[in-house]
A and B are shown apart, each in its own frame.
Chain A
Amino acid sequence: MSISKKQYSKMAEKASPPSPKLKNSLKAFLIGGLICCIGQGLFEVYSIYFSLSEDNAKICVSITLIVLTAVLTGIGVFDKIAKHAGAGTIVPITGFANAVVSPAMEFTAEGHILGTAANIFKMAGPVIVYGTAAAFVYGLIVYIFKLY
């Protein structure tokens, strides 16, 4: 074929419609913002009505969002929301919860040890690895600055 890889790459790019970035960003902003608002609302409820300390209320907000996501993932609703929300559901803690629950469900067919347990961090594993590494670097920087 006389078409070079470079030429074909241009042809393919021209033929492929781009993702609707503006629409996607707007939806991510609105749904992501809504999740954060729900989080803030939960925080108020936990602090005011349950008289929890700020730290405890924050932990309870995270737990509630994680449980909610796990349930929505389990009943097959979360991916339908995420399809529209994109980063709006990935960035908050909901994305992490979904990334743990969905492979756990999917691989149950291969057994509880080699299936669920071995694959549960398939999606979230990289976040944990690089999150821990980034936290280490950040900690090191803070430590050095505090020394002087």
Chain B
Amino acid sequence: MAKRTGKNTIELENKPKILSSAAIVGKNEGEGPLGEEFDEIEQDALFGRENWEQAESELQSRTVRKALEKGKISEKDVDLLFAGDLLNQCIASSFGVKEFSIPFFGLYGACSTIALSLAAAAVFVDSGAAEIAVAETSSHFCSAEKQFRFPLEYGSQRPPTAQRTATACGAFVLKKNCESPVYVKYVTLGKITDLGIKDANNMGAAMAPAAADTIANFLRDTNTAPDDYNLILTGDLGEIGTKLLREIMQKEYDIDLSRVHNDCGLMLFEREKQDVHAGGSGCGCCASVLGSHILGLMRKGELKKVLVAATGALMSTISANEGQSIPAVSHAVLLCREDENG
């Protein structure tokens, strides 16, 4: 059963496993360095639908269907679906999964939602409250631009600190006692951290303190060091956030992350060539990289222990217009291979 370890961490003793995962991305993401590893690359930004919001919903339903198909699980066997996205009232999720007759648990943690939904699904499966659960999150460049920034065709210049919202979705099927080698061992839920960054074009800087706090709490609660892990993966800190995270870890906790840390926002795109400035972002960024590349390496045994700490910037256009700073949060899950003790 799930058991609290230390102040912020929950240990899952029954090994909720990631039975299968799927990742579907848009054209730009497909042209990135991880292009070959995704289940599908959709060339049409509208995903065959009429508007950006519907496109993102279509992306979600396709990805969930793909993950279920890969896990050979029928929709009616799934007890709970945990999902979230960036749109107001999480409409990409609720409209995206309405065709499934699965009880829906909507979540919002901005770009940290993938870790939040995985954490929630893992705790439910571990405790037996759900036999099979699905965790998934998405983001779409066009729907996010429309809601948070400018109309798509508006001619503006982006500063080098800006990140590009990924058109991507990742879905994960969780179940106990199954064939898969990868399970969720620990879950660390983060608190809101705000060090006063107001620039919505510098989300990496706004989110780095939250990631540092959660990673430090996780290491303290589990009494481990970064070198005990093959990879400490953040969600979408991008170039600036990555730099700041490592600096905060060093200054505040005397922990050197540089040897084991990487960031999905830096992995999804080839930054210079694809002109994405500081890197990728969005709920789908971490979800798709984790659901394809990272889990692929774990299944092959090339990675055995991966700490995923996804971060989210929790501002809205209203709070930004009011001049308020950006509160951020980071949630972490530790993914382990069964043949790895510890």
Question: Is the C-beta of B52 less than 8 angstroms from some C-beta in chain A?
Answer: yes
- Evaluate contact between A16 and B152: CB separation under 8 angstroms: no
Expressed in whole angstroms, the minimum distance between the Cβ of A10 and any Cβ of chain B is: 11
Name A24's contact: one of B157, B205, B209 (CB within 8 Å): B157
Contact assessment for B205 and A12 in the assembled complex, using a CB-CB cutoff below 8 Å: yes
| Given A11-B244, A15-B243, A15-B244, A82 and B202 contact (CB-CB distance below 8 Å) | no
Q: Is the CB of A1 within 8 A of B52?
A: no
By beta carbon, the residue of chain A nearest B243 is A15
B146 lies within 8 A of chain A by Cβ: yes
Interface size grouping (class) on chain A: 35 or more
Please state if A102 and B151 are interface contacts (CB–CB under 8 Å).
yes
Give the CA-CA distance A109 to B324 in the complex, in Å.
30
Query: Is B252's CB under 8 angstroms from A79's CB?
Result: no
CA distance A106 to B150 in the complex (A): 9
Residues in A with CB closer than 8 Å to B159 are 19
B161 interface residue (CB < 8 Å to A) = yes
Using Cβ atoms and an 8 Å threshold, which residues of chain A touch B146?
Answer: 106
**How many angstroms from the CA of A80 to the CA of B62 in the assembled complex?**
31
The residue among B152, B156, B161 with the most chain A CB atoms within 10 A of its own CB is B156
B155 interfacial by beta-carbon distance below 8 Å = yes
Instruction: Give the residue of B157, B195, B209, B212 whose beta carbon is less than 8 angstroms from that of A82.
Output: B157
A32 at the interface (CB under 8 A from B): no
Contacts of A99 in B (CB 8 A): 154
Residues of A52-107 at the interface with B, using a CB-CB cut-off of 8 Å, are 73-74, 76, 78-79, 81-83, 85-86, 89-90, 95, 98-99, 101-103, 105-107
Q: Which residue of chain B lies nearest to A3 when distances are taken between CB atoms in the complex?
A: B252
* Contact, CB under 8 Å: A9 / B196: yes
B251 to A, closest residue via Cβ: A3
**Chain A nearest CB, measured from B330 CB (Å):** 13
Measured in the bound complex, the distance between the Cα atoms of B275 and A83 in whole Å is 11
Q: Is B193's CB under 8 angstroms from A123's CB?
A: no
B153 engages A101 (CB within 8 Å): yes
B252 near A106 with CB under 8 A, answer no
Residues of A within 8 A of B51 (CB): 109
Q: Closest residue to B213 on the A side, CB-wise?
A: A1
A116 to nearest B CB, angstroms? 11
Instruction: Name the distance in Å between A148's Cβ and chain B's nearest Cβ.
Output: 43
Taking a contact as CB atoms under 8 Å apart, the answer to whether B154 and A102 are in contact is yes
* Cβ of B50 under 8 Å from chain A: yes
How far does the alpha carbon of A86 sit from the alpha carbon of B209 in the complex, in Å?
Answer: 32
User: 18 A-B pairs, CB-CB below 8 angstroms?
Assistant: A1-B252, A3-B248, A9-B197, A15-B243, A16-B161, A16-B240, A17-B161, A18-B160, A19-B159, A19-B160, A73-B155, A79-B155, A85-B155, A86-B157, A90-B155, A102-B150, A106-B152, A109-B52
**A residues engaging B (CB < 8 A)?**
1-3, 5, 8-9, 11-12, 15-20, 24, 73-74, 76, 78-79, 81-83, 85-86, 89-90, 95, 98-99, 101-103, 105-107, 109, 122-123
